Amino acid sequence: MGIGFDMVEIGRVDAAIRRWERRFLDRLYTVEEQACCRGQASSLAGRLAAKEAVLKAMGTGLRFGNWREIAVTGDALGAPRVTISGRLAEEARCRGIEGFLVSITHTGDLAAAVALARGG
């Protein structure tokens, strides 16, 4: 149905955490995501890249919801798993999207993610 790719500078996420603390984290990440990442900027940057890649795969941007409506967690083996909720989930259903496949990677400075929107 669609594909998206995004990269996030880990240092920018780290700086935002130091400057805005909870305000930044609570605006972009679910409680479960925050618990999984334990404040690690590289993990948080990877999840942010995945969220943006999901929005690109949907072809909508963030106009139909908010960042917390996309949750990037891990399955039993640690592979990234995406769940969407709220208005974004409703829009995905309208577009025929049944789910997403996501891959995340990190380097010293960057986190990147690719998302594939699956349809029926």
Enumerate the active-site residues.
56, 106
Q: What are phi and psi of 75, to 5 degrees?
A: -85, -170
Q: Is 21 left (phi over 0), alpha (psi -120 to 50) or beta?
A: left
Task: Give the chain's radius of gyration (CA, Å).
Answer: 13
In the numeric block, the tokens 């699956």 are attached to 118
Q: Are 81 and 74 in contact (CB under 8 A)?
A: yes
